[in-house]
Amino acid sequence: MSIALPQTLNKALEPFLIIVGSLTVSMVLFGAFVASAGADPFEVYQTMYRAAFGTSFSWQNTLIRAAPLMLTALCTALPGYLGLIVIGGEGAVVIGGLFAAIAALAMPSAAPMVVLLTMALAGMIAGGMWLMIPGLLRHYRAVNETISSLLLNYIAIALLNHLVTSTFRDPESLNHPSTHHIGEANMIGLIPGTDLHWGLVFGIVACVIAWFLMHHTVFGFASQIAGGNVRAAQIAGLPVGRLVLIICFVAGAAGGLAGMVEVAAVHGRANDTLNANYGYAGILVAFVARNNPLTIIPVAVLLGGIRASSGLLQRAHELPDATVLVMQGIIFLVILFSETLYGRFSRLQKQGVS
């Protein structure tokens, strides 16, 4: 037993140190970048902090941005348990939002609660089926799921653009082709006492459920076997194909729910604002969180904060709009690189044994 405690401690310590280390390195690199753009990095970081977490207003702004990231991160994190790298969150958001809007428009006289539930179901089913496609292609035809899910993003966006400019177009949306508005009565309200909509609760609840599913249920255990060694899963008689499809569906459903929230809480209609890169940012969140659904929550808040600071950075330091995307990109690269560091720190390894 004496060996068990330091080992588990160590197991948690290594990723923690590596992730904190890579975030620090990213900050240094980004600091150098803003310095080269003529701003003082320390002031920039101060501004970012203020803009993201300084006041209750900035907190709310951050959390609103974090909410969809929690859901889209699950699009990558859940298939990760099976060893799949799915980057189709963007497509799932778009398809989920589109079908949620269509569902709402199909039932003009229903009670708002019914409409919202139907929208959520429609968005989740549509997003889930959408991400099942890479799962199907992967399991039955051995098509690389990373490539197919990426390409499906573009198909989803094209499909959205096609439908909002033709069948479902609101004639009054002249410059910005959109569907009709789902109706103010059908919008998701705010969490009482805040300016936050319920999307944040959906995100947190979805992450907790996903974590529980993967770590405390028979289904999650079977998925971990299949993800760790397909041959072992086959000998155990596990239905690997079914696991792949279910996981991809659940992952896509999370993305679809994010799309539904965007429509029902923010825009009121489906249009190209659905395609706001939440899906791609979600990949980053999942990578930083090492696919752990619980870790996704704080990481999404952190990234939401970075994104929330964009406007103030522009105004206070005259940095271009895309600056926060540069930071996001730097973090992504550094995190990817840090994957090569696991198991390299002999001191950490030895602590575990002695």
Residue in 193, 218, 343, 347 binding another protein, rule: CB under 8 A: 218
Given the complex with another protein, which of 36 and 231 has the nearer CB atom?
A: 231
Q: How far apart are CA 175 and CA 344, in angstroms?
A: 55
* Burial per residue of 72-106, b for 16 or more beta-carbon CB atoms within 10 angstroms, e otherwise: bbbbbbbbbbbebbbbbbbbbbbbbbbbbbbbbbe
Query: Does the protein bind another protein through residue 344 (CB under 8 A)?
Result: no
Q: What is the residue whose two structure tokens read 């990373």?
A: 146
What is the per-residue DSSP string for 265-321?
A: IIISS-BGGG-SSHHHHHHHHHHHTTT-HHHHHHHHHHHHHHHHTHHHHHHHH---T
Residue 178, φ and ψ in degrees, nearest 5: -145, 170
Please choose, out of 115-123, 162-170, 234-242, 287-295, the segment that lies near another protein by the rule CB under 8 A. 234-242
Minimum distance, C-beta of residue 144 to another protein, in the bound complex (Å): 17
Q: Tell me which stretch binds another protein (CB under 8 A): 2-10, 28-36, 45-53, 172-180.
A: 2-10
Q: Does 142 bind another protein (CB under 8 A)?
A: no
Residue 140 interacts with another protein (CB under 8 A)?
Answer: no
Q: How far is CA 6 from CA 19, 346, 348, in A?
A: 20, 15, 10
Of 193 and 237, CB closest to another protein: 237
Dihedral over alpha carbons 168, 170, 174, 178 (to 10 degrees): -60
Which string of x and - marks every residue 5-44 that binds another protein (by CB under 8 A)? --xx------------------------------------
Q: Please identify which residue in 238, 294, 326, 348 interacts with another protein, judged by CB under 8 A.
A: 238
As a whole number of angstroms, the distance between CA 10 and CA 351 comes to 8
Q: Which stretch binds another protein (CB under 8 A): 99-107, 165-173, 195-203, 212-220?
A: 212-220
Interface segment toward another protein; rule CB under 8 A; list 55-63, 230-238, 319-327, 337-345: 230-238
Residue written as token pair 């429609």: 122
Interface with another protein, residue 144, by CB under 8 A = no
Contact with another protein (CB under 8 A) among 114, 151, 201, 232: 232
Nearest C-alpha neighbor of 268 from the set 199, 186, 203? 186
**Residue 250 Cβ, how far from another protein at the closest point, in Å?**
15
Q: How many residues bind another protein (CB under 8 A)?
A: 25
Q: Which residues bind another protein (CB under 8 A)?
A: 1, 3-4, 7-8, 215-222, 224-225, 228-229, 231-232, 234-239
